[in-house]
Structure formats: structure tokens, C-alpha cells
Amino acid sequence: MTARIPRWPGVELGPKDLESGVVTTVRYRPEAKFAWSAGEAMSRFLAELQEGRLIARNCTGCDRILFPPRMFCEECYRPTDAWVYVRDTGTIETYSVSYLDTDARRITEPILVGVVSLDGASPRMGMMHYFGEMSKDDIRIGMRVKAKWRAPKDRVGSVLDIEYFRPLREGEG
């Protein structure tokens, strides 16, 4: 059948056709603003970040320390048990060397970004973040890293209170 269909529908437009009025269009910018309730777990998480600490919740059902923290355990399906601090050191689980910035524009000095599993949390539990004080040639999976915190006065209660993770130095952690 598909071999016999003479014309498959679809009228292709060129890159400029939308912009230049070759075809009629409507331009629109929706108003879609939000203020998400952070709730119990994330409110505390953000407050602790502002203090320069990383906090988790433990679940005695499965004996895990859950990071990022949550008020319920998705495995045991019950409320988690207590607040537990985890360390700001950890291990790179994976990463990318990005020549695209956050707006997908080309850049020459790459952004190093990846997932860090944190010491003190259950295996592999961690967060996405940037990496610094290392080059694209140094970075590797399994590398030990530590958070580089912003100065206390610059912290607002955000994952950006950590500037990036840097290589763990000898004697640290």
C-alpha cells in the first residue's frame, strides 16, 4: 500500500517562511506563571542548602538514606523516618562535556555537567550539578569530588548555592 500512495500529505515550509510573512501566522506568548509549593521535604532541603549543608531522609523500612530528601519512601510506600545530613563530597556517576550552553547556543569553553552520588547517602543517590577546577581531560566517571559552596551571604536556598563540584583534594573527606 505505502508503495502505491502517490502523495503523502504535508506542505513543507522553509526556515524564513514563518518569520517573513510568506504565510499568514499568529504570534503568541502565553502567560503561564507558577509558584510551586516546595512542601515539607524541599523547604527543609532549601533551608539547609542556604546553611551550606545537604540533608536527606532515611527510611528504616528499606534501610536507605534518601537523597534528595522525600517525606515518603517510594519503595516501601510509607512515611520516611528522620532527617539525616549527608556529606558534600561524592563520586561522579556520569557526566558530559557540553559545547552547548543552557540555551543550546554553541560555546567554545565547554560546560562540565553530570551526576554526583553523595557520601553518606545510599549508593548512587545524588544530584545533577556542574563541575569546576578540572579540565575536560581530567574528568572521569568514578572521580571523587567536593562541593564548592558560594559565600554564606550569597546563598539563597537553591541548588545554585553550590557553585560546582571540584576535585577532592588529598586529605579531604
- Out of 29, 63, 108, 171, the only residue in the binding site for another protein (CB under 8 A) is 29
Q: How far is the CB of 44 from another protein (least distance, A)?
A: 7
- Out of 114, 131, 143, 145, the only residue in the binding site for another protein (CB under 8 A) is 114
As a whole number of angstroms, the distance between CA 145 and CA 157 comes to 21
Q: How far is the CB of 107 from another protein (least distance, A)?
A: 11
- Specify which residues 90 forms β-bridges with: 118, 145
As a whole number of angstroms, the distance between CA 28 and CA 71 comes to 40
Q: Does 153 bind another protein (CB under 8 A)?
A: no
- Out of 53, 84, 87, 96, the only residue in the binding site for another protein (CB under 8 A) is 96
- Out of 84, 87, 113, 166, the only residue in the binding site for another protein (CB under 8 A) is 113
As a whole number of angstroms, the distance between CA 145 and CA 117 comes to 10
Contact 151, 121 (CB under 8 A): no
Site string for another protein, 45-74 (x = CB under 8 A): xxx------------------xxx-xxx-x
Report which DSSP code applies to 32: -
Q: How far is the CB of 167 from another protein (least distance, A)?
A: 18
- Out of 141, 154, 169, 173, the only residue in the binding site for another protein (CB under 8 A) is 141
The radius of gyration of the chain's CA atoms, rounded to the nearest angstrom, is 23
Extract the C-alpha cell encoding 130. 556542574
